Structure 1
């Protein structure tokens, strides 16, 4: 269990993590300072409220006192409106900034972090966590010190009437401090629980919404409904704990407030009867006592908000500690550098699960290689190591004679193109999908020329909107073959030196698969091509076949080199042929 989670259960919070998040979140200090000054002015005006009101209520008939009172209430109203209006921009700008920090961090985190942390779960840190945390934090920064100022100045004024009046205000302060510490810790635990459950529910719904067709295909609506309700009940229970806490806070606040009023009234009446204070001082004191009681409650509330911020930011703090990909300071690779790929005694594990063990092979520059093997044999892992998403525990992965660990990430990945299984694309327009990752302005003429090269132009011409045709999320509005052609067109414009294909034809029918194969070899004749595949016809077209068997290199060579000589290769051939025959039935 992580450190953050342990602290969440304890309820104390981690101040080091808290201040680390504050430094990272780029608070809009200019807005906060303006709101702070306005709130300070509001509290300054509030100091005159009891005195002005007491003067009127004591029976004064001075017309100037009435005029001063009117002007005072006009000023009071303006300052109050300004205070409320200026806090809102500060909160919204702060929430916007922290969301940008979180999203930037998520884009830079090493991929191995996501092996143990669901990205969908983390996304709620950008929504609920960020919104609540920044709202409470801005409230604290804007209001805490002005309230302290008001309390100190009000107590000074009260003590000028009679020192015992000030003593009466402090009698219940120890109880209020105990209340603040106890409830503050409770507040941290409940807020941490709520945001953790929101993350779980968000992750569950995001996964199910992406796969509604699968749920319907297996007629599993009722079970998913129960699973969704179960996940929702976790959030419901967390919210009920918050509701329970709010009830306790309301009850204790009311009791402390009533006790404070009783103490103040007893002291005030006794001092008035003794003649130690006059009626105007008594009225002013009574009003001060009410506002002071509110101010003490506000200070406690600010402390609660600070603990709530800690709870809301606990997951954000853990996320910001996640390891990032590091750019190397070595020589930046040029576009035309060598593209020979070499795995030299490479071993890699996902935690305790071994994926590759002492694997060595070389793919010459400009050649094509198929990486084959049963599921879990380490095929996709090999591509991930080449792109330096992961670091091998042993051995070296090199490109053009240079270890990928020594090549700056932008340069390394800029030289690689990737066509994944299913060719998933983002929503938007066809033009946006075709130019995704091309960090330059791409004229339509260039797009059409590339589309004609890959055969995608024939598809584009059938759509009335052409390049402006809408694309559904994941490219579901297009067939698998259309998506593959789109991605291949994008890769052609990108001009990568090394092309990685992860099962490019597995989701296609025979005709579409053949068309994609032809596009790969005809459009990219000189690039180094590494293809993870089970497609027998595709395997026969490559220069080299790399056979992996449960993470171990079982064979390496051409089709003729391996046929009849490599047991693991023959088993895969037999399995593929059996699958092909079964598909014909």
Structure 2
């Protein structure tokens, strides 16, 4: 959040210093990269031109009708041609709007597709530094702003430009003096629009940031609603959301103030020009320099200029919003990603895992892991013990390659794991955590999650049986097709753990990372999960973050971590003799066991 606040203040303080071209280039590049359908856009533009050209002939036809208008001389073919032009204009305009809307939807779908793919491949530090709600806002709210510009305002912009150019050319042929008088509105409008446009860009950026922040607050409160209710934090969350809503309200009012200033001011300028034209035109009609039809045509053409100017001003306002949204989208698209297929495939995972002088910190000046070295033998169990904050979970994250160490190396046999294909390396790993996450879906969906092959019912049931999960699954209302609810809330902790173990068994990994999956369970659930884990660990290289003495006693090797360093290693008996902190850990576990 510090980064976001810094970004917002930078926008407010220096946003107006960047040239409009620099703001537009990323937006234009983003649209080009989506490869919009050229034929669709081409046909839409051609039809827009046809619609506008047809509309430009309407005032000329009206002029002819007015100059020769008497009931006796009413010309049927003139009325028919006038009706034909109206029909052509309506048809061409309707088809053009549809095609441009379709092209806009395609462009935004491509942007969302790129964003979604990117979000799945981004490195973990991105998610450490960006709140989930803000990331969701990039995907939904910011792309919606771009969609609104393309589908709702691009049509008006292009047709408006054509209409203005065509109307001005025809007006010069009718009366150049009155046309020059009318064009006085152009510099006046420009003087209004440019500074207001820069102001709208700054407001838009702030609005996008605040929307993302509010989405994040909302997402956090709703996703952890049980925690909110359990600790009676409704008031705190309400105040947090209320403040965000208040900031959005103030920005919305500021945006409305700018828009309220633009519309009436542009309208006032146009109305003043129209009054001048009617007054001056009336004088020229009375002197015989113009006909009544010419004056009517002039007024109609003026309307064909006034309305597009309003459309164009709205387009530029929305463009400023889209440019602000685009900058946030591009920030995400340019963030570094994981190269899943880069490197050699893992040929044999049944090799020792060696850490050599490994050091890592989430911030460069703060080390969480400090120059540790160890060897984990293939097919054996290593337990990692230590107080909270000693670096155990961070070590797991390094082994899974969520992060890269600042110093040192991890090897599988002779090969550095960072030279192996990331997808191939993670395929060898099965991870079961204390609170194994489940997705909203069925039991089957969760057991098969992440597999790139079809799973037979026999394979599914065998994995569930080995995880001691088949019994309770068969008692569920719809068996394997039972919905587990968001994050598995319809199941107990022990049931969730056994489904997670079944998931790991189905993957058949060679390396297991277990964040002591039984530490938060009751004794009955713990026994079932422990039996499932013993099946899962058989013949596999297993690394366990240990919280209970029962796990430690059975380990082939124990690593004791303290403040990011390994201060002891050996079997349970060896550490009981040589390591005072380990003896204290064991004694504490025994006291807990006696109380139970």
Deviates more, 1:450-459 or 1:144-153: 144-153
> Who is 2:66 aligned against?
57
Question: Could you tell me how far apart the structure 2 residues matched to 1:389 and 1:92 are?
Answer: 35
Deviates more, 1:234-243 or 1:35-44: 35-44
> Who is 2:167 aligned against?
154
Question: Could you tell me how far apart the structure 2 residues matched to 1:522 and 1:111 are?
Answer: 31
> Who is 1:22 aligned against?
31
Shift of 1:577: 4.2
Closer, same or farther: CA 297–231 of 1 in aligned 2, 3 Å = closer
> Who is 1:557 aligned against?
570
Closer, same or farther: CA 108–30 of 1 in aligned 2, 3 Å = farther
Question: Could you tell me how far apart the structure 2 residues matched to 1:244 and 1:189 are?
Answer: 14
Which of 465, 468, 485 lines up with 1:472 in the alignment? 485
2:386 is the alignment partner of 1:373: yes
SS of the aligned residue for 1:548 comes to: strand
Contact 1:339 1:498 in 2 (8 A): no
Q: Deviations over 1:496-539 (max 9, x none)?
A: 11111123112211232232222222233111111113122112
Shift of 1:307: 1.2
Contact 1:420 1:503 in 2 (8 A): yes
2:357 is the alignment partner of 1:345: yes
Shift of 1:276: 2.9
Shift of 1:575: 4.2
2:247 is the alignment partner of 1:238: no
Shift of 1:252: 1.7
> Who is 1:36 aligned against?
45
Runs of 4+ more than 6 Å apart: none
Contact 2:341 2:423 in 1 (8 A): no
Closer, same or farther: CA 205–575 of 1 in aligned 2, 3 Å = farther
Question: Could you tell me how far apart the structure 1 residues matched to 2:64 and 2:385 are?
Answer: 91
Shift of 1:439: 0.4
> Who is 1:424 aligned against?
437
Closer, same or farther: CA 22–78 of 1 in aligned 2, 3 Å = closer
TM-score of the two chains, using structure 2 as the length reference: 0.92
Question: Could you tell me how far apart the structure 2 residues matched to 1:116 and 1:574 are?
Answer: 39
SS of the aligned residue for 1:554 comes to: strand
> Who is 1:491 aligned against?
504
Equivalence map 1:201-212=2 (5 Å)? 201-212=214-225
Question: Could you tell me how far apart the structure 1 residues matched to 2:24 and 2:593 are?
Answer: 61
Question: Could you tell me how far apart the structure 2 residues matched to 1:213 and 1:67 are?
Answer: 71
Equivalence map 1:176-325=2 (5 Å)? 176-325=189-338
Q: Deviations over 1:463-503 (max 9, x none)?
A: 23111111101011111111111111111111111111123
Shift of 1:347: 0.5
Deviates more, 1:298-307 or 1:450-459: 298-307
> Who is 1:169 aligned against?
182
Closer, same or farther: CA 282–307 of 1 in aligned 2, 3 Å = same
SS of the aligned residue for 1:301 comes to: helix
TM-score of the two chains, using structure 1 as the length reference: 0.94
Question: Could you tell me how far apart the structure 2 residues matched to 1:572 and 1:31 are?
Answer: 71
Closer, same or farther: CA 28–552 of 1 in aligned 2, 3 Å = farther
Question: Could you tell me how far apart the structure 1 residues matched to 2:91 and 2:296 are?
Answer: 25
Contact 2:105 2:151 in 1 (8 A): no
Deviates more, 1:38-47 or 1:429-438: 38-47
Closer, same or farther: CA 432–281 of 1 in aligned 2, 3 Å = same
> Who is 1:48 aligned against?
57
Question: Could you tell me how far apart the structure 2 residues matched to 1:178 and 1:578 are?
Answer: 80
Structure 2: which 5+ runs fail to align?
none
2:396 is the alignment partner of 1:383: yes
Shift of 1:205: 1.4
Shift of 1:20: 4.2
Question: Could you tell me how far apart the structure 1 residues matched to 2:34 and 2:592 are?
Answer: 54
SS of the aligned residue for 1:461 comes to: helix
Contact 1:435 1:442 in 2 (8 A): yes
Contact 1:33 1:142 in 2 (8 A): no
> Who is 1:8 aligned against?
11
Closer, same or farther: CA 569–178 of 1 in aligned 2, 3 Å = farther
SS of the aligned residue for 2:411 comes to: strand
Deviates more, 1:395-404 or 1:105-114: 395-404
Closer, same or farther: CA 253–160 of 1 in aligned 2, 3 Å = same
Q: Deviations over 1:96-152 (max 9, x none)?
A: 222222111111111112221112221011212111212203445444344322222
Which of 516, 524, 542 lines up with 1:511 in the alignment? 524
Shift of 1:171: 0.8
Closer, same or farther: CA 559–154 of 1 in aligned 2, 3 Å = same
Question: Could you tell me how far apart the structure 2 residues matched to 1:425 and 1:345 are?
Answer: 35
2:407 is the alignment partner of 1:394: yes
Shift of 1:331: 2.4
Question: Could you tell me how far apart the structure 2 residues matched to 1:23 and 1:405 are?
Answer: 35
Structure 1: which 5+ runs fail to align?
none
Question: Could you tell me how far apart the structure 2 residues matched to 1:38 and 1:418 are?
Answer: 58
Shift of 1:65: 0.5
Closer, same or farther: CA 573–261 of 1 in aligned 2, 3 Å = farther
2:557 is the alignment partner of 1:544: yes
Deviates more, 1:138-147 or 1:211-220: 138-147
Aligned length: 582
Contact 2:433 2:515 in 1 (8 A): yes
